[in-house]
Amino acid sequence: MPESTSDLGFLSRAIHAGQQFDPTTGAVVPPIYQTSTFVQDGIGGFRGGYEYARSGNPTRDAFQTQIASLESGAFGTAFSSGLAAEDALLRALLVPGDHVVLGNDVYGGTHRLISKVFGSWGIEVSTVEMADRDAVRAAIRPTTKILWVETPSNPLMKITDIALLAELGHEAGVTVVVDNTFASPYLQRPLELGADVVVHSTTKYLGGHSDVLGGAVVTNDEELSEKVRFLQFATGAVLAPFEAWLTTRGVKTLGLRMERHSSNAQAVAEHFAEHPAIERVYYPGLPEHPGHELASRQMRAFGGMLSVALKGGGAAARAFAESTKLFQLAESLGGVESLIGYPSEMTHASVRGTDLEVPETIVRLSVGIEDIADLIADLEQALPR
């Protein structure tokens, strides 16, 4: 085990960053420090800086080192959920009277958090088409503090040029935040492209097995990271030791999983692009996708998420989502098993009636890493004929 992992490649860092063997026993896998507090050698004599598990726990630290390394960031902070991570980040960056510009198809929960929770504390929000440079520029006000983007977006898989957005944000003195949940750092690293902060729902691809909830904030800005850490310490939404350990375990295979998620999703997209029951497939790996060229430059592969619009309207879309067998009807994404969702009544129910509303014809697939022939057969049998 090398002293520093910073010279290693991505796949090696996924396995070794923050994962030193246990010095007491030699256990190859760092243990789960299932403890709420730490003995002091005399008052204030902390071992390794550990005092109480809300302020720090070695298992959480191991994951924080791992995720920071993979996102090419200096500082990572792990939370009990993606939304808890977003909440701390927003509090660190905003004061009453400030304004946030959000992409117009960000995760519904992000919009709900900012408009419904922060709204009553005097924060204003606008939603904008992030791929439209002029629209973004026009949306920025003197009080704007944050540009917040998801790319690929949810559920229409729009691609935004992160480097361009970062440039635009920095011209206006605005912090550029990328929710990198859909791509994961294996496919795309926003900090390398100029973004200021990455947030994650580690519940999805990073955990990767649909068995743990978590979130993370990663940045190279030390002052911002300290604010986020202080807010987490003061408010308490920490990632618990067992959840940190499970997430770390998932991350070790991130690269392998993302390769298979991407190749399976590409095969599904190509198979259904010409299907008589399907109006349109939204997947950046298809050459006809408007973001294809940009995604080819910005991402290593195109990821495991895709959406389809059904020709038969809302009723056909609902019936399709309820008729697959291998693809299980559930919220969430990014696990090894394939999931199917109906955004307008599931993930995006909270944005019905707003600009972020998702058409009733859309069905979203989180393509897992099962045998591709089984996945295609399952979707085929569920489609109207």
**Which residues of the chain form contacts with ligand PLP (CB under 6 A)?**
81-83, 107, 109-110, 150, 154, 179, 181-182, 201, 203-204, 213, 215
- Any bridge partners for residue 100, and if so which? 125, 146
Per the CB < 8 A criterion, the answer to whether 370 and 338 are in contact is yes
Give least dist CB 153 to ligand PLP, A. 9
- Residue closer to ligand PLP by CB (options 59, 203) is 203
- Cis peptide upstream of residue 152 (ω within 30 degrees of 0): yes
Instruction: Rank residues 84 and 193 by Cβ distance to ligand PLP and give the closer one.
Output: 84
> How would you classify residue 305: left for phi > 0, otherwise alpha for psi between -120 and 50, otherwise beta?
beta
Determine which one of 13, 60, 61, 107 is catalytic.
Answer: 107
Q: Tell me if residue 105 is catalytic.
A: no
**Closest residue (Cβ) to ligand PLP?**
82
Q: How far is the CB of 235 from ligand PLP (least distance, A)?
A: 15
The two most distant CA atoms of the chain are separated, in Å, by 74
> How far apart, in whole angstroms, are the C-alpha atoms of residue 282 and residue 273?
9
Shortest distance, position 177 Cβ to ligand PLP, whole Å: 11
Which of 204, 229, 280, 300 does the annotation list as catalytic?
Answer: 204
Residue 170 and residue 194 in contact, taking contact as beta carbons nearer than 8 Å:
yes
Strand-pairing partners, residue 278, are: 310
> Could you give the CA distance from residue 41 to residue 45 in angstroms, rounded to a whole number?
5
Q: Active-site residue 54, yes or no?
A: yes
HSE-CB of 257 using CA atoms within 13 angstroms: 25
Q: Rounded to the nearest whole angstrom, what is the least distance from the CB of residue 105 to ligand PLP in the complex?
A: 10
Distance CA 152, CA 175 (A): 20
Q: Is 107 an active-site residue?
A: yes
- The CA distance from 171 to 283, in Å, is 31
Residue number with CB closer to ligand PLP (154 or 307)? 154
CB of 366 to ligand PLP, least distance (A): 10
Q: Which one, 71 or 150, has the nearer CB to ligand PLP?
A: 150
Residue closer to ligand PLP (CB basis): 289 or 364: 364
CB of 42 to ligand PLP, least distance (A): 40
**Which CB sits closer to ligand PLP, 13 or 348?**
348
Residue number with CB closer to ligand PLP (82 or 368): 82
The nearer residue to ligand PLP, 38 or 107, going by C-beta atoms, is 107
**Minimum distance, C-beta of residue 82 to ligand PLP, in the bound complex (Å):** 2
Catalytic residue at 196? no
CA angle in degrees (0–180, nearest 5) for 25-27-31: 100
Set 91, 179, 318, 342: catalytic member: 179
Query: Which residues form the catalytic set?
Result: 54, 107, 179, 204
